[in-house]
Structure 1
Amino acid sequence: MTVMIKTESLTKVYDGVKAVDSVSLSVGGGEVFGFLGPNGAGKTTTIGMMVGLIEPSGGKCWIDDIDVTRKPLEAKRITGYLPDGVGFYANLSARQNLKYFSRFYGMTDTASDARITELLRRVGLDKVEKPVGGYSRGMKQRLGLAQALLNDPKYVFLDEPTNGLDPEGVIQFRNIIKEMAAEGRTVFFSSHVLNEVQQVCNTIGIISKGRIVAQGTPDEVRRMMRKDEHVTIKIKVIGTMPKLSDSRIVSADYVDGSAIITATEDIRDDISEQLYTSGIRIRELRLEEQTLEEVFLNTIYRGEKHEV
């Protein structure tokens, strides 16, 4: 994996309080990275520093090997940003708003008109002519995404893009994020809603109280944040469940044709062999693991740091 977005000990202090505390992240090219955390965890401040809108109190951020703090304008040329609560000129239409913003990128009228037409069609606003002041929140979010993509960026930062949207709007955003990834764009997507992150992200980082407490793929995060070193194995057989003998079994509960085993490691292969040798037919033999949602809730309240 080629790292295309990287932060190193990124820190922001407000009035002596660390809103973001030594955040170090790595995001590979073409990934959809989910930045997950409760409201007030430091997500928006972190993204603000990463896109060059907030000056860090310490640490560094690189996008495509560009030091964002030292060369913010250069970084902005290859990034798009959708903030939480995007603002537009209420008396202008969607096209007029985007036309105004296109001037900041030095786009010619011909190039900007073609790009705006394409983007409005993509976000489903090409048939809407009324001023933006009459838009719903969902329509404004979609227009905000069009603005974020105006300069055809390689890197797109989305801060709580589905916050406050109806189910249809959420699905539309998911599909657009997947399309951006398919185009080879790198997407950095923050949310406090775990389900949204699970639907679209390859890798995730969990932030709590300004600190990264876990990062990796969803499966890696779930495994590393397991509460203890023991594993739970659920077994169902046809007929009577025999008592199992293995020094790695910590405890076992037997009920009719089933058992729940707590062991020091995954011993399913040995259990399967024992039962087969005894002539017992297995109906179910599986490892019970915490869901990512359980891990998320445990993580943000435990506040421990785990990295892959």
Structure 2
Amino acid sequence: MLEVSKLNKFYGQNHAVDDLNFTVASGEILCLLGANGAGKTTTLNMLLGFIKPDSGHAVLDGVDMYHQRADCREQMMYIPENVHLYPSFTAVENITYLAELAGVKVIESDIKDVLIRTGITETQLVRKVGGFSKGMRQKVAIAFALLKHAKLVLMDEPTSGLDPVATQEFIEVVKTIKERGTAVLIVTHDLLCAHQLADQIGIMSHGQLKQLIKNDGLTLPNLTEQYFNQFSA
């Protein structure tokens, strides 16, 4: 679904992203781990079109993400570290408005069904989202991604600031996106979340993808050891 090849970005003499290559298949989750300055956020910003790469390619379902940006944008969903919604609207009203802006046709009953599927309760459906926690706002964004039928969902530090219960709820909700066949790329510092959620785990350091690990039989202690080996290299 997502193919990234030979992606590079320079800031002066700093090689922020160095010849990056990876793929994320439909129904697959890739978590990118790395210390601050490893190149994770720059990679995410290039895929989002916020900054232009100096060279390389990114293709979403056969469509060039840089030469056919508008077509790709319709197939993507970005969930930032802190999801911003209209605080005086309910979750249903927020999604209705966002769907109208995006040209996505939805009906209220479908919105409610998907919100409940992502963990928003009947009582919370009628509350203004100004009182929602970070985890609840994320659930609204994920519900919109499901309604939008996004082919690719990009997330930036989604578990930052979440307590253990909210983190586990987040993991279970993201699995609903995976089950729909969506490709998911998560930039995170959270090794436990990556271990519980990802199909692939990429470890970045100094702009390079040092390791790309299949999360099949991988133990958390082994992942932690491999991560810190790259961090200290």
Shorter-chain TM-score above 0.5: yes
User: So what's the TM-score if we normalise by structure 2?
Assistant: 0.87
User: Could you tell me whether the CA contact under 8 Å between 1:91 and 1:131 is conserved in 2?
Assistant: yes
If each structure's helix is expressed as a fraction of its own residues, which one has the higher value?
2
Question: Which residue in 1 is equivalent to 2:61?
Answer: 64
What amino acid maps onto 1:63 in structure 2? Answer: L
User: Could you tell me whether the CA contact under 8 Å between 1:138 and 1:166 is conserved in 2?
Assistant: no
- Seen in structure 2, the aligned counterparts of structure 1 residues 9 and 171 have a Cα distance that, compared at 3 Å, is same
Question: Which residue in 2 is equivalent to 1:300?
Answer: 231
User: Could you tell me whether the CA contact under 8 Å between 1:205 and 1:216 is conserved in 2?
Assistant: yes
Q: Structure 1: state its 5+ residue gaps.
A: 223-289, 303-308
Q: Secondary structure at the match of 1:88?
A: coil
User: Could you tell me whether the CA contact under 8 Å between 2:159 and 2:190 is conserved in 1?
Assistant: no
Question: Which residue in 1 is equivalent to 2:89?
Answer: 92
Question: Which residue in 1 is equivalent to 2:123?
Answer: 127
Question: Which residue in 2 is equivalent to 1:155?
Answer: 152
Shift of 1:131: 2.5
Count of matched residue positions in the alignment of Structure 1 and Structure 2: 230
If each structure's strand is expressed as a fraction of its own residues, which one has the higher value?
1
Q: Does 1:172 align with 2:103?
A: no
What amino acid maps onto 2:30 in structure 1? Answer: F
Question: Which residue in 2 is equivalent to 1:201?
Answer: 198
Query: Which of the pair has the greater relative contact order for Cα pairs under 8 Å at 6+ separation?
Result: 2
Shift of 1:116: 1.9
Q: CA RMSD in A?
A: 2.3
Q: Structure 2: state its 5+ residue gaps.
A: none
- Seen in structure 2, the aligned counterparts of structure 1 residues 83 and 112 have a Cα distance that, compared at 3 Å, is farther
When structure 1 is superposed on structure 2, of 205-214 and 49-58 the one drifting more is: 49-58
Shift of 1:197: 0.7
Question: Which residue in 2 is equivalent to 1:118?
Answer: 113
Q: Does 1:9 align with 2:6?
A: yes
Partner Cα separation in structure 1 for residue 48 and residue 60 of structure 2: 9
Partner Cα separation in structure 2 for residue 206 and residue 213 of structure 1: 6
Which runs of at least 4 in structure 1 moved beyond 4 Å after TM superposition?
219-222
Shift of 1:27: 2.0
Percent identity, aligned pairs only, is 33
Q: Secondary structure at the match of 1:150?
A: helix
Question: Which residue in 2 is equivalent to 1:261?
Answer: none
Question: Which residue in 2 is equivalent to 1:262?
Answer: none
What amino acid maps onto 1:144 in structure 2? Answer: A
Measured against aligned partners, the alpha-carbon deviations of 1:133-162 in whole angstroms (never above 9, x if no partner) come to: 222222222223223333111222222221
User: So what's the TM-score if we normalise by structure 1?
Assistant: 0.67
User: Could you tell me whether the CA contact under 8 Å between 1:218 and 1:292 is conserved in 2?
Assistant: no
